[in-house]
Amino acid sequence: MNPNNPILKHHISSQFNEDLVDVNTKFMTMGGLVEQQVANAIHALLDTNANLAIDVQFQDNTVNQFERDIDEALTLILARRHPAAIDLRMVIAMSKANTDLERIGDEAAKIARIAQTLCEEGESPRGYMETRHIGNQVRVMIHDSLDAFARVDAEQALKVLLADADIDREYQSATRTLMTYMIEDPKHISRVINVMWVLRALERIGDHARNIAEQVIYMAKGLDVRHTSVEEIEIKVQQSNTPR
Amino acid sequence: MNPNNPILKHHISSQFNEDLVDVNTKFMTMGGLVEQQVANAIHALLDTNANLAIDVQFQDNTVNQFERDIDEALTLILARRHPAAIDLRMVIAMSKANTDLERIGDEAAKIARIAQTLCEEGESPRGYMETRHIGNQVRVMIHDSLDAFARVDAEQALKVLLADADIDREYQSATRTLMTYMIEDPKHISRVINVMWVLRALERIGDHARNIAEQVIYMAKGLDVRHTSVEEIEIKVQQSNTPR
């Protein structure tokens, strides 16, 4: 049980509390696994490690099983415990974030599949520097969004939203660079396109981490901040901190 | 109110029934809008209609607002009505499918953005035949998955899952064709890559329609068929139809 999570301490019914703690532990374990999958997929690509690439694709089944288990546990909590207020928000936020974690796992498996292809072809193509750089940023985003979820920390979630805007910019710039490589050296087009798919997958992972961060803000503050600019979200979160 | 939806007829509490009917109507209206957005985005691209492309991007705000409204309505139903059994499954399925509809809207807006760029550049590039073909298939998938949702029809949902496997194959083949165009004619690389992004968006839309179909099976049968092969799903659905 996480001593920093304010939601998991206040229940009178011990069975209800136990159910919430259990599903929360599962969610955090899945989060750790998904984080590792992304790290391994990037390593497999950059170090041309085909075995690691195969392992990541295989482990995606475990991620999928976590998704099913967590949704089942959440449905049981809704059916039996009728959570209200912040408990209900936690269940809803976890249900949404669960989908995002599974999708991050899918993107990691996609990167691993491409890594495997590129390993077999040998010779490392252009665009790896960009991949390493954006890959590192995205890993930090996943870590921070999960940490914010564990501590129900809206301020840290805000930082994740800011980081996502950075990644979108760097992704655009990296895509332009790769386009130049292709035009200069058309015979390596298919290899460079593969690297482009990897960058796209990393950008999508950043989006999913942002979605998780938005769910943290919903859970902590009851604010639905989807489709809202980061500036507006900052103001809303600050207002909700000020006692009225 | 939809007379074909078996869930919306059996409640003793008229207020509960009204809440479910209301959110169901909202969901179906959003579905119709999203379907139209995809159709318009494809038309904007193929008929080089820049105004339509701009309109689709603008309308994405309406889709986003629907997503927020539906999730809010579902949360209120959970908090006030404590739905059980098939009612609870409907609420959960709609919450998940709501996310997928919004993402389909995002992909339509992405296609429209690319359409706008390609309109401004003039001259229609290669790969439009493939786009038209896959675009039509994807539109049918969205329509059928929403229809299956409206009628809580697991059999029709199964057909959507089968259609998605087709689209994945055609997407792979179209991507290979585009790759050949690029290698043959490197000076149009950036235009062809834009068409590739469109195909990718269409393939993602197909995935989201499949997710909605999976939620229909969950709602109708209580079976979680995510990450399961279509053959296995067919058997499971048939078994659930046979009285034991």
Q: Which domains, from first to last, does chain B contain?
A: 13-239 (1.20.58.220)
**The predicted structure's pLDDT at residue B16:** 86
Mean model confidence pLDDT for chain A: 93
pLDDT range class, residue A243, cuts 50, 70, 90 = low
B46 touches chain A (CB under 8 A): no
Helix (H, G, I), strand (E, B) or coil at A107: helix
- Cβ contact B194:B118 at 8 Å: yes
Examine the pLDDT at B30 and tell me if it is beyond 70: yes
pLDDT range class, residue A12, cuts 50, 70, 90 = low
Examine the pLDDT at B124 and tell me if it is beyond 70: no
Q: Mean of the pLDDT values across residues B103-125?
A: 90
B69 touches chain A (CB under 8 A): no
Whole-angstrom distance, CA of residue B86 vs CA of residue B152? 11
The predicted-structure confidence for A112-140, as pLDDT tens digits, reads as follows: 999 999 988 876 667 889 999 999 999 99
**The predicted structure's pLDDT at residue B8:** 81
Q: Mean of the pLDDT values across residues B8-12?
A: 71
Contacts of B186 in chain A (CB under 8 A): 182-183, 186, 189
The predicted-structure confidence for A193-230, as pLDDT tens digits, reads as follows: 999 999 999 999 999 999 999 999 999 999 999 999 99
Contacts of A67 in chain B (CB under 8 A): 226-227
Whole-angstrom distance, CA of residue B46 vs CA of residue B101? 23
**The predicted structure's pLDDT at residue A2:** 59
CA dist A111 → A78, A134, A198 (Å): 36, 13, 6
Q: Mean of the pLDDT values across residues A182-187?
A: 85
**The predicted structure's pLDDT at residue B145:** 98
Examine the pLDDT at B106 and tell me if it is beyond 70: yes
Examine the pLDDT at A3 and tell me if it is beyond 90: no
Examine the pLDDT at B194 and tell me if it is beyond 70: yes
**The predicted structure's pLDDT at residue A184:** 87
Examine the pLDDT at B123 and tell me if it is beyond 70: no
Q: CB A79 to CB B95 under 8 A?
A: no
Whole-angstrom distance, CA of residue A87 vs CA of residue A229? 27
- Cβ contact A102:A64 at 8 Å: yes
Q: CB B183 to CB A189 under 8 A?
A: yes
Examine the pLDDT at A1 and tell me if it is beyond 60: no
Q: CB A99 to CB B95 under 8 A?
A: no
Examine the pLDDT at B102 and tell me if it is beyond 90: yes
Measured between CB atoms, which of A68, A95, A186 is closest to B186? A186
**The predicted structure's pLDDT at residue A148:** 98
**The predicted structure's pLDDT at residue A123:** 65
**The predicted structure's pLDDT at residue B134:** 96
